[in-house]
Structures are given as structure tokens and as C-alpha cells.
Amino acid sequence: MSRALTETLLDLSGLTVLTEAATGAYAVTAVLAAMAGARHVYAFTRPTRHGTPADARQQTLELADSVGVADRIDVLEQITPNILHQTDIVTNSGHLRPLTAALIDELPREAVIALMFEAWEFRPEDLDMEACLRRGIPIVGVNERHPSVDVFSFLGPLCVKQLHDCGLSVYKNRIAVLCDNDFVGSLRAGLASSGASVDTFDDVQAVYRDAWDAIIVALRPGAEPRIGSPEATHLAACAPAGVIIVQFWGDMDRTVLSANGLGVWPAAAPAMGHMGILLSEIGPEPIVRLQAGGLRAAEWVRRSRTVSPDGFAQIVTRPPDPAFADSH
């Protein structure tokens, strides 16, 4: 965490942050903000499948105490208007989502929302974009490929971990990567460096018949599952019986995949629009870097600094796809 703060030059002095108190690697967010000199950090928590509010409180405050910042973190189970009125940065964190119009309307006009991932990955269900546009509150993505953040480089090892979990060696495996977004280079490099034979495709219909050991799905989520009945039929025709369809990112109709004789991994479906494996599965390092980068991007915009293509910050300026316009 100290290394991430040094590399990103994160400085939250004079600013108040509203984020989450969470468990595991995600306990770092509130603590990073306090370590970066935030005037105060409000960390909201609620019950989830990852732990109870008591678990989140304990893990967050124990970590904070170990670096001497516990006195500047309040763990909350209720967010009052008074807290919102003094908040400079709100993070788009799991316990806080969705960020509603009612919450956004209570924020100061100079507040910013930290998306905590790249702008193009924006999910309309996470927060009320119309409320942000109406209030003039920026939604700030983080450049995950900035040298001081460099989270994209962890995507390849993360995909390798996912394949190991489903019983594949990766080494000497024949793997198709179905990817229509900026993840493709990192995924291909990570798999190839582990000894896989890899071909990439940006469309399901482009996948050809081969002795695939696995087909990685890393498709940007849409209004409907990216792998439905027609896609499942095509993939089944292109691969040996029982080949594993690995859900890295992008929603899939698991019923039709199974009906076509295809295996599906992970065994439990992730939430709609979410990744099939968390970055924390390969340790805290990528989470620490991502959270520090997300806070740094928000700080950059909050302090009215210029946003540039090679900098930390990215601004979500408009709906990313027609599905958003159709649903609002």
C-alpha cells in the first residue's frame, strides 16, 4: 500500500472520502484514503456474501490501526445527508452501489465520483448518470494502463488462474480467446507466456473449428447475454465435445451452453455485467494498485487538473452503448 501511494503520488489532504468498509483485499480502500492524508474517511458497510458488517469493520479497522490511521476512519451502516454534504470523493464501490439520484443530489457541486475502473467499462446500473449530468458531478474512470497503476498486466495471470481452477494446465493447451475489447492484448500475452497456443477472435461467428481445450469469453456485457442460443450452437460446432467455455467477462446463457454439450466455468455464475473471477484471486497487489489509482484519478479531477489521454483520469461523458439510452 505504501508503494502504491508513492508510485501514484496520491494526496488526499484536505479532502473527505466516502467509500466502503469491506473484507479481504477490498479492506484496503478506506485505509489507502486515510494513508494518503484524507481529512476524514467514511466507510459504509452492509451484509454481503463476502462477510457481515462486523467482519468488514474488524478487517478495515485492524488494517487501519496497523498503519496508524484508524482515528480518521468512521465505519458506518447508514449514510446521513450531513456526511454527503461534506464529501469530496465518492467511490463506486460494491457496498455503496447503486449510487442513487437521492445520494448524488446531496453531494456538494464540486464533488466527484470515482468509478474505480476504466471509463469504457461503465455499467449504467452502478449509478444514476442523469443525476450526475444534471448536477455537473464528474464520473471519473482510472487509466488502468498508466505505468503507476498497470492493472491490465494482471489480467493475463488472472485468466491463467481461472483456467488452473477449472483443471487445465494452460501449458500446451489450445485456447480460443473471444474478446471484443481492450483486455485482448493482456489476455493473449498472459496465456502465451504460460505456454498456451492462443488464437483471438472479436466475434463469435469468427471462431473456427479446432481442437480447443478451452474457449475464453471476455466480451463486453450488453443488454442481453453475449452468448445465447445461436452463439452456443456455433461454439459447439467449433470445438470437441465437452470443451470448457470460461466466463472471464461478459454474460452467458449457461442453460443453452449446457444443452449444447459444453462445459461452463466458473461453476457459480457471476452477477450480470461482472467478471467471472475477482482480481483479488491472485492476491492483494492488483486491488491495491487499482484502488490507489481510482482514488488518484478522482483526486486529480477534484483538484481541477487537466485530463489527458496518458494521465490517471478518464471522464465518463456519455452513455457507452444504446442499452443505456434504451433503459433511461
pLDDT in tens, 151-171: 999 999 999 999 999 999 999
Residue 318: per-residue pLDDT: 63
Furthest-apart CA pair in the chain: how many Å?
Answer: 60
Residue 326: per-residue pLDDT: 36
pTM above 0.85, yes or no: yes
**Is residue 262 packed enough to be buried (19+ CB in 10 Å), middle (13-18) or exposed (0-12)?**
buried
Residue 49: per-residue pLDDT: 84
Residue 327: per-residue pLDDT: 35
Q: Return the HEC string of the chain.
A: CHHHHHHHCCCCECCEEEEECCCHHHHHHHHHHHHCCECEEEEECCCECCECHHHHHHHHHHHHHHCCCHHHEEEECCCCHHHHHCCCEEECCCCCCCECHHHHCCCCCCCEEECCCCHHHCCHHHECHHHHHHHCCCEEEECCCCCCCCCHHHHHHHHHHHHHHCCCCCCCCEEEEEECCCCHHHHHHHHHHCCCEEEEECCHHHCCCCCCCEEEEECCCCCCCCECHHHHHHHHHHCCCCCEEEEEECCECHHHHHHCCCEEECCCCCCCCCCCCCHHHHCCHHHHHHHHHHHHHHHHHHCCCCCCCCCCEEECCCCCCHHHHHHC
CA atoms of 170 and 208, how far apart (whole Å): 20
CA atoms of 266 and 276, how far apart (whole Å): 7
CA atoms of 281 and 145, how far apart (whole Å): 20
CA atoms of 7 and 15, how far apart (whole Å): 20
Total Cβ atoms within 10 A of residue 95: 21
Domains of the chain: 2-149+281-327 (3.40.50.720), 167-265 (3.40.50.720)
CA atoms of 227 and 259, how far apart (whole Å): 13
pLDDT < 50: residue spans in the chain: 320-328
